């Protein structure tokens, strides 16, 4: 029978942290690893501890491969923090529960990003400073530090300025609030006070040993694009030729349409006619074939019932059909391709 006693050792955890843990979704492995961390840190009255995977396995009974994955998940959610690397890695519990990512669906979201040279932090949906975040839940760290210092949300017109012009230095002593106009004026004055060098989208002072020789930025060379030369006369002539060609083919089709006896599906016929694009000689051949076909038995039978649609006639190149018209009183021989 187990008889645990406080006198034999206990772990002090603030009630506020316990209540915060009640509101966060943890997997069974995450909860077991977290309690193991409490035992190895707060259980020995310290905040950081170097814990080997053998110790993790002994306390939790979880395979070390699952331990590694679970620690990675807790780190991504900013519930557990680490420092060092390799065998010297240390673990600690993030007691600032406002920094936790409480949504397990986005636990793999990067907690820290560098954008435009500024450090950005991800804040969970329940964080009181979440209204200052962008649509993806990130906020510039220097604005977050200032907001926490003032214990209020910052207005959009309040610019947080880095006094030493180093965007990564977000200590409160290096930050001050300015208006947009003041910030622009101060930035212009600072840039005028030192030689400019374009580097990572910001101006930096040139120092003798600032960069290795092979990485020293070269002066920017502006190459003006060559002016685009357009021969307006040639362009105008080309447009006129295209327009004239379109008008000519339209006139030719109207002649064809007037000669063809069966007037149905004009749009389809015109489309096929334009594709064929007949010259004057071919158009004359078409018209001659139509006049001969009108006298044939096939086209005269049952009031022209068997005359093909004009588009069909054009597609089939029916002007190439052999049409023999006999003398009056005799039947004509008409090879229309159907017999």
| Residue with token string 């030493």 | 164
Residue 58 has pLDDT above 50, yes or no: yes
Question: Maximum CA pair distance of the chain?
Answer: 133
Q: Are 40 and 33 in contact (CB under 8 A)?
A: no
Domain map of the chain by residue range?
A: 11-104, 110-197, 235-334
Domain 110-197 in this protein, CATH class: alpha beta
Closest CA to 322 of 293, 287, 280, 286: 293
- 106: Cβ contacts below 8 Å, ≥ 6 apart: 137
- Radius of gyration over every alpha carbon of the chain, rounded to an integer in angstroms: 43
Band the pLDDT of 203: cuts 50, 70, 90.
very low
Q: What is the mean pLDDT of residues 50-73?
A: 90
Residue 80 has pLDDT above 90, yes or no: yes
Residue-level pLDDT at 259: 86
**For residue range 244-279, what is the model confidence (pLDDT) as tens digits?**
777 788 888 888 888 888 888 888 888 888 888 888
Six-digit token pair at 133? 């975040």
Question: Is 110-197 the same fold as 11-104?
Answer: no
Fold adopted by 11-104: Arc Repressor Mutant, subunit A (1.10.10)
Band the pLDDT of 41: cuts 50, 70, 90.
very high
Six-digit token pair at 80? 């557990």
d(CA 334, CA 339): 9
What does pTM read for this prediction?
Answer: 0.34
């Amino acid at each position: 029978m187990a008889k645990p006693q406080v006198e034999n050792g206990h772990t002090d955890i603030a009630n506020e942290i316990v209540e915060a843990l009640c509101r966060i979704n943890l997997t069974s492995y995450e909860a077991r690893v977290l309690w193991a961390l409490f035992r190895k840190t707060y259980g020995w009255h310290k905040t950081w501890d170097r814990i080997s995977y053998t110790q993790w396995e002994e306390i939790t009974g979880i395979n070390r491969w699952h331990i590694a994955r679970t620690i990675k998940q807790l780190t991504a959610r900013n519930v557990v923090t680490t420092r060092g690397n390799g065998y010297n890695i240390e673990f600690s519990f993030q007691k600032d529960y406002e920094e936790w990512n409480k949504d397990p669906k986005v636990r793999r979201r990067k907690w820290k990003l560098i954008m435009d040279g500024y450090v950005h932090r991800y804040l969970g949906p329940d964080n009181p400073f979440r209204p200052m975040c962008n649509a993806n839940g990130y906020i510039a760290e220097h604005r977050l530090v200032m907001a926490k210092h003032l214990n209020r949300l910052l207005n959009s017109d309040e610019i947080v300025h880095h006094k030493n012009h180093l965007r990564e230095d977000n200590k409160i002593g290096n930050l001050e609030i300015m208006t947009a106009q003041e910030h622009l004026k101060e930035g212009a004055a600072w840039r005028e006070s030192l030689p400019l060098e374009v580097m990572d989208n910001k101006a930096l002072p040139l120092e003798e040993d600032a960069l290795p020789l092979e990485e020293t930025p070269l002066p920017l060379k502006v190459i003006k694009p060559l002016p685009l030369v357009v021969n307006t006369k040639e362009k105008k002539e080309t447009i006129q030729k295209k327009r004239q060609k379109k008008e000519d083919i339209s006139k030719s089709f109207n002649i064809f349409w007037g000669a063809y006896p069966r007037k149905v599906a004009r749009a389809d016929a015109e489309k096929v006619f334009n594709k064929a694009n007949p010259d004057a000689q071919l158009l004359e051949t078409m018209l001659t074939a139509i006049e001969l076909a009108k006298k044939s038995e096939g086209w005269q039978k049952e009031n022209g019932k068997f005359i093909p649609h004009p588009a069909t006639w054009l597609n089939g190149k029916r002007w190439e059909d052999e049409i023999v018209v006999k003398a009056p009183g005799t039947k004509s021989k008409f090879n229309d391709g159907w017999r």
